[in-house]
């Protein structure tokens, strides 16, 4: 039986009426016919997957695999974009190509579609050049991109079992690597001779106990990193109406990103010294603002030092960047939407258990949790070394709380900071989730909103 991550299933002949409805919406006058798709689904060297929300097909993608594999089509219903469907489908196609022994994956993307190009670049695709598009509507210009696949040299099972394992591990590995970077991988990236491949490094040290991490940054940081002030750069001023860490306005965030030296297309790596629990806020917010390639240093500063990475002290001066940000590239939920989630999906409370039950509340106006929420503390995403737990462990954890294949997953915490870590952990195993930015600090400040206590 073929393994597929949550939110994906094989594309079936019974899906073709819906595919035919979406084809002209997604691909204009150059769409394929139903007969073409029927032929494609029957070919042994083809792999087609569907992205689904509940029982609804919301996207589809296809691969022709051989020594050189080609992404034949990939598209998501406009009403369901910015929920990670395209990334999950692409990850699966890459895994299938690797399992089939392909050495490269090629695709073409409309030359004017910068958003899709950024997505593909985040997976490691490199641009080869512009040509008259074969798969594009009315032969529009397309950018051809290629991903070189590195075969796994490690020994393992043979035959069909090996293929199935490669599909499972390849897909999981690709999803995880789109969110996280190891210290060893980061060391390779920062030594890249190609400046375009070197990431902008952001030091996001912060905690409730010590919100100003600048003095720690000045004492020692990953070489070249810029300091990010979470309270001022990654949040608007606190208020009773919006919570302790409201989303910043786009102009403020863009000014900060330019100050850090980020240009359009730059990859970004964020880190802290608390397992990514504050760096994830930068990860989420920069992706929300349209930067496709943002990853969290797994294990943070501790992992960097343990891998032999050196630290530098003092401030780092960089040339200001020219990045242009745009809002809305990560899904959010407001208080009203969050209240409705338990009726059709899963609402996760990422705070410590004792805050969820209402036993303690050290910061916010009232103790307890949003009715219908399930306790899923962010701290349980991490192992004792402050690294993200293995993907299989995370998948089991989220399945146990009902989020493995839920139609809608929303996460909140105290003020929208550590909940971003939970969104990242979910994304690393292929589960899309919305963030409730106001979180408990906003909810509990409104006396009209109900509060539950104890275990659910």
Name the residues annotated as catalytic. 413
- d(CA 299, CA 294) in angstroms, rounded, equals 16
Nearest to 73 by CA among 136, 138, 5, 9: 136
Helices and strands (H, E) in the chain, number of each type: 16, 16
Nearest to 235 by CA among 190, 288, 159: 288
Cβ–Cβ < 8 Å for 363, 441? yes
The bridge status of strand 104-110 relative to strand 46-53 is unpaired
Query: Which H or E run includes 330?
Result: none
List, in order, residues 6 or more apart from 139 with CB less than 8 Å away. 30, 132, 133
Helix (H, G, I), strand (E, B) or coil at 349: strand
Helices (H), 289-383: 300-306, 335-340, 353-357
List residues bridging with 312 in a β-sheet: 221
Neighbours of 374 (CB within 10 A): 17
Cβ–Cβ < 8 Å for 334, 239? no
Neighbours of 215 (CB within 10 A): 10
Neighbours of 360 (CB within 10 A): 10
Cβ–Cβ < 8 Å for 198, 450? no
């Amino acid at each position: 039986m073929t393994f597929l991550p949550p939110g994906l299933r094989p594309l079936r002949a019974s899906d073709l009426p819906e595919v035919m409805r979406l084809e002209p919406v997604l691909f204009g006058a150059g769409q394929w016919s139903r007969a073409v798709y029927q032929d494609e689904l029957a070919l042994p060297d083809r792999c087609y997957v569907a992205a689904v929300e509940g029982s609804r097909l919301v996207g589809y993608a296809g691969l022709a695999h051989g020594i050189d594999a080609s992404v034949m089509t990939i598209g998501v219903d406009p009403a369901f974009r910015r929920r990670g469907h395209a990334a999950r489908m692409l990850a699966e196609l890459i895994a299938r190509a690797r399992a089939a022994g392909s050495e490269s994956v090629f695709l073409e993307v409309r030359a004017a579609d910068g958003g899709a190009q950024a997505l593909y670049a985040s997976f490691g695709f490199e641009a080869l050049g512009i040509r008259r598009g074969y798969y594009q509507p009315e032969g529009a210009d397309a950018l051809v991109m290629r991903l070189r696949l590195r075969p796994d040299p490690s020994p393992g099972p043979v035959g069909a079992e090996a293929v199935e394992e490669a599909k499972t591990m390849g897909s999981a590995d690709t999803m995880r690597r789109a969110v996280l970077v190891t210290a060893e991988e980061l060391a390779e990236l920062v030594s890249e001779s190609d400046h375009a491949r070197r990431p902008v490094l952001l030091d996001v040290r912060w905690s409730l106990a010590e919100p100003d991490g600048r003095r720690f940054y000045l004492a020692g940081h990953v070489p070249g990193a810029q300091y990010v002030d979470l309270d001022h750069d990654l949040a608007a001023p606190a208020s009773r109406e919006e919570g302790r860490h409201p989303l910043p306005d786009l102009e403020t965030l863009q000014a900060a990103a330019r100050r850090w030296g980020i240009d359009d297309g730059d990859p970004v790596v964020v880190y802290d010294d608390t397992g990514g629990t504050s760096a994830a806020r930068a990860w989420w917010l920069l992706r929300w603002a349209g930067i496709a390639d943002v990853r969290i240093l797994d294990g943070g500063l501790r992992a960097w030092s343990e891998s032999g990475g050196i630290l530098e002290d003092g401030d780092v001066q960089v040339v200001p960047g020219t990045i242009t940000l745009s809002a809305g590239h990560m899904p959010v939920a407001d208080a009203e939407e969050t209240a409705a989630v338990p009726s059709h999906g899963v609402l996760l409370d990422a705070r410590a258990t004792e805050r969820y039950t209402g036993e303690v509340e050290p910061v916010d106006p009232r103790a307890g949790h949003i009715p219908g929420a399930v306790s899923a503390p962010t701290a349980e995403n991490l192992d004792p070394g402050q690294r993200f737990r293995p993907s299989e462990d995370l998948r089991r954890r989220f399945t146990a709380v009902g989020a493995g294949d839920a139609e809608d997953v929303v996460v909140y915490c105290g003020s929208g900071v550590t909940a971003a870590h939970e969104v990242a952990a979910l994304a690393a195993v292929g589960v899309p989730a919305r963030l409730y930015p106001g979180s408990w600090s906003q909810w509990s400040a409104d006396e009209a909103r109900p509060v539950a206590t104890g275990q659910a």
